[in-house]
Chains A and B, each alone.
Chain A
Amino acid sequence: MNNHLADLPAWAAVPAALLLLAGAGLTLIGTVGLLRFGSFYQRVHAPTLGSTLGIGCILLASMLIFSVLESRAILHELLITALMVVTTPITLMLLARAALYRDRSEGSDEVPPPPSGSTTVPKPGASDEAGV
């Protein structure tokens, strides 16, 4: 593998290295945010740095390196990008809705009440708000 990478010309190696550093850096910043933020709803924002631009930079670097090494367009990574974009919202919504449900039933005043405006504790399955 190392021998392969030694063949990589500088014009490709430099941008690929910068992209990898940027992607890894963004993911690291997101992880730091996970530590620093206070509430659940703030924390859930932080890792999205890694799951959007962070992984985007890393995949671009991968496409660049392998396209140059094999002298043809390597486009696998587009699939990874598409699948990430489509599946991340599902996990995030599940987490956010679980947190919202918990906070509402605990009567927390940090979260908005259910849209019906009633102050009663939401019963399972009786919530007005549903995921798409």
Chain B
Amino acid sequence: MRRLMRRWLPYPLMTATLLAVWLLLNESMAPGTVILGGLLSLATAATLGVLDLPGGRFRRPWAALSLLGVVLVDILRSNWAVAKIILRPGGGGRVSGFVRIPLDLRAPYGLATLACIVTATPGTVWVAYDRRRNTILLHILDLVDEQEWIDTIKGRYETRLMELFE
């Protein structure tokens, strides 16, 4: 059974996602659409084996929902903050700069998700990742306190991502 799974369904989560995309694009749950989409996503996921993707696992989908909630709130707050900075006349007194953040997270998909989160919240840009020291270099638009940002990234996102991906 396990061998059969590995042969025909090497990436179950990827297959399910592709099927969901297909159904959304077709806007239909008709049996024909489901069968065609299922076959296509099985075939596509099977070809992914050629790409030699890094291994990873994904646990606790419910924890992912809580992370999504945290990120949505942060997107709203940081949009507001950056909009205020842009509209402030003169823009005086604002310091922006780089922060290097040491990480404990090493899972490749966790890091990719962190990159999406950092980019999706205005005011922070992911500049570089140092694989050897496992640090990331961020540029922060409104840099008041470096330690505060390190605590934010590690406390709000990294612990949750490590729960999910490690």
Contact = CB atoms under 8 A, between A and B. Distances in A.
Contacts of B128: 96-97, 100, 129-131
B130 A128 contact: yes
A26 B129 contact: no
B115 interface: yes
B98 to A, nearest CB: 5
Nearest to A97: B128
Interface string A33-51: 1001101011011101100
Interface in A23-66: 26, 29-30, 32-33, 36-37, 39, 41-42, 44-46, 48-49, 52-53, 56
Interface residues of B, number: 41
B139 A96 contact: yes
A93 interface: yes
Interface stretch (A1-9, A13-21, A70-78): A70-78
A86 to B, nearest CB: 6
- Contact-size category for A: 35 or more
A79 interface: yes
B122 A49 contact: yes
B101 to A, nearest CB: 12
Given A46-B82, A112-B137, A115-B130, A86 B116 contact: yes
Nearest to A74: B27
A30 B127 CA distance: 20
Given A26-B83, A76-B25, A88-B120, A131 B135 contact: no
A123 B91 CA distance: 37
A53 B129 contact: no
A132 interface: yes
A41 B139 contact: yes
A96 B83 contact: no
Contacts of B100: 112, 115
Contact of A89 (B24, B116, B139): B116
A26 B100 CA distance: 29
Contacts of A111: 98
8 contacts: A48-B82, A89-B118, A92-B119, A93-B119, A100-B127, A129-B128, A131-B128, A131-B129
Interface of B: 21, 24-25, 27, 75-76, 79, 82-83, 85-87, 91, 96, 98, 100, 108, 111-112, 115-116, 118-133, 135, 137, 139, 141
Given A93-B115, A93-B126, A129-B131, 14 more contacts: A36-B86, A37-B86, A39-B96, A45-B96, A45-B124, A48-B82, A48-B122, A48-B125, A49-B82, A75-B24, A76-B25, A79-B24, A130-B129, A130-B131
